[in-house]
Homo-oligomer: A and B are copies of this chain.
Amino acid sequence: MLNYKPLFFITGLILSKLALFMYIPMLLALFTADVGTQEFFLSIVLGHTASFLLLHFGRVQHFRLGVREMFLLTTLVWVIGSAFAALPFMLIEHMSYTDAYFETMSGITTTGSTVLSGLDTMPHSVLMWRSILQWLGGIGFIVMGVAILPFLNVGGMRLFQTESSEWSDKSTPKTQQLAWQILQVYLVLTICCYFGYLASGMTQFEAINHAMTTLSTGGYSTSDSSMSHFSAAAHWNASLFMFLGGLPFLLLIHAFKKRSTKHIYRDAQVLGFVKLVLVSTALITLFLWWHNTFPLADAVRISLFNVISVITTTGFGLSDFSAWGNFATLIFFFLMFAGACSGSTSGGIKIFRFQIAATLLKKQTQQLLHPRGVFPQNYNKRRVNDAIIRSLVAFILSYFITILITAAILAAFGSDLVVSLTGAITAVSNVGPGLGELIGPSGNFASLPDASKWALSVAMLMGRLEILTVTVLFFPAFWRG
């Protein structure tokens, strides 16, 4: 039997925290005499009530969570959190609950696909709530990635468990301490990003919002034209902090503590990330320059921005890259799968999985030429054993199966090949925009049918939780236990 009480209790805790964060947009609306005070207040009251009931019925003297409870809890927290956090969108913008839930799930998973338009004139409380959702989702994901996923051993994350536990042997931080350190670094970087945006000419409000959605690689903006609305300096600032948001946070913490970045430079995953950014940017820049789409300086800035935006799965828009011609479109299509480093806020398959795959491919080729040779396979100075390969394969398989099923649902409800495919990919990878006019960087998801929006909401959540965390819940064996 599953032990439900602790699940109630922890979900209640999370709801009460979410309700606390709702005070920010409520107070903003109150003090600027803008729309939203009543609606946020109502949501807060509902949130505190639900949280009180859950905490009450879930209270037990002692509890222990087994693996199955952990899986269920991880999914439940995001599903119920979104169900609650969607209320203000519905109440203020008078949108359907489907749309509100989509927008919330997209925010909290840092996907950043939106059904809203008219952002430039939208109540500040709504915009602020969207940004807060992404910011919370970002740090929630990092903490989950460091503290919970390695424990559940989903998707080859054990590789990082050993890494972090070895590191923690020296410095002995417990999980709570680690979460606290992550929060500090995340806050400091957000504040730096905020000042950068201020300096680039953004208003106070724009800078706060974009700082939150940049570090979390979320990609929500306060303008329909996203980053095209802002100065070149803002683009450089965004590129820098999206890049930082794509780095493994444990390494950033280490760098902050030791006042040294050498661990970052030497990390195989970071190096791979940097190489991928540079090579892709070079290709796209050359292509744009060759076709005289932009002058060279602009081509570099715009290419770098878009490449980082897609690889880190931020999804900010700056000049619609799906209108740059077929070659650029195809490169971005493939980059949508990539993702930045594990342990960052970014989604996607992530660099380390490609690197492990590459070492495997190298080993296999050597093996073909020298059938009796012994070729050890290493990654980041660590042996890659068969258990890691297997969980990596399981991850990538379930990743593509999720894309396949999501795309099939979208197609069955009338979307064409490009929308179905890139809509599914962008959701599972938590990128945000797809390709093409409809859902590309200059479009939005409003026109899709409700069924497609729910399918995409599930896909975003599955992508965020490394797929298998959610998939196990669909197995009858899980519930028989």
Query: A residues engaging B (CB < 8 A)?
Result: 67-68, 71, 152-154, 326-327, 329-331, 333-334, 357, 360-361, 363-371, 386, 389-391, 393-394, 397-398, 404, 407-408, 411-412, 414-418, 420-421, 435, 468, 471-472, 475, 477-478, 481
**Is there contact, CB below 8 Å, between A330 and B418?**
no
Quick one: closest B residue to A398, CB to CB?
Answer: B361
Quick one: closest B residue to A154, CB to CB?
Answer: B368
**Is there contact, CB below 8 Å, between B368 and A67?**
yes
Q: What separation, in Å, do the CA atoms of A169 and B468 have in the docked complex? A: 42
**Is there contact, CB below 8 Å, between A393 and B404?**
no
Given contacts A153-B371, A371-B153, A404-B334, contact A390 B364 (CB under 8 A): yes
Q: What separation, in Å, do the CA atoms of A27 and B71 have in the docked complex? A: 71
Given contacts A394-B360, A407-B330, A420-B326, contact A366 B153 (CB under 8 A): no
Q: Which residues of B contact A357 (CB under 8 A)?
A: 393, 397
Quick one: closest B residue to A331, CB to CB?
Answer: B408
Minimum CB–CB distance for A397 against chain B, Å: 5
**Is there contact, CB below 8 Å, between A326 and B415?**
yes
Minimum CB–CB distance for A466 against chain B, Å: 11
Quick one: closest B residue to A407, CB to CB?
Answer: B330
Quick one: closest B residue to A66, CB to CB?
Answer: B369
Q: What separation, in Å, do the CA atoms of A174 and B468 have in the docked complex? A: 46
**Is there contact, CB below 8 Å, between A417 and B435?**
yes
**Is there contact, CB below 8 Å, between B408 and A368?**
no
Stoichiometry, copies per complex: 2
Minimum CB–CB distance for A428 against chain B, Å: 15
**Is there contact, CB below 8 Å, between A327 and B365?**
no
Minimum CB–CB distance for A124 against chain B, Å: 38
Additional 19 contacts, C-beta under 8 A, given A326-B415, A327-B411: A67-B368, A67-B370, A67-B371, A71-B368, A153-B368, A326-B414, A327-B412, A329-B416, A329-B417, A330-B408, A330-B417, A330-B421, A357-B393, A363-B390, A369-B472, A369-B475, A369-B478, A389-B390, A417-B418
Q: Pick the most buried of A67, A370, A391, A397: most chain B CB atoms within 10 A of its CB.
A: A397
**Is there contact, CB below 8 Å, between B326 and A394?**
no
Q: Pick the most buried of A367, A369, A416: most chain B CB atoms within 10 A of its CB.
A: A369
**Is there contact, CB below 8 Å, between A416 and B360?**
no
Minimum CB–CB distance for A68 against chain B, Å: 6
Q: What separation, in Å, do the CA atoms of A68 and B415 have in the docked complex? A: 48
**Is there contact, CB below 8 Å, between B411 and A366?**
no
Q: Which residues of B contact A364 (CB under 8 A)?
A: 390-391, 394, 468
Q: Which residues of B contact A414 (CB under 8 A)?
A: 326
Q: Which residues of B contact A368 (CB under 8 A)?
A: 67, 71, 152-154, 468, 472
Q: What separation, in Å, do the CA atoms of A468 and B368 have in the docked complex? A: 9
Minimum CB–CB distance for A415 against chain B, Å: 6
Q: What separation, in Å, do the CA atoms of A152 and B367 have in the docked complex? A: 10
- What are 19 A-B contacts defined by CB distance under 8 Å? A67-B371, A71-B368, A71-B369, A152-B368, A326-B414, A327-B411, A327-B412, A331-B408, A334-B404, A361-B397, A364-B391, A364-B468, A365-B472, A368-B472, A369-B472, A369-B477, A389-B390, A393-B393, A418-B418
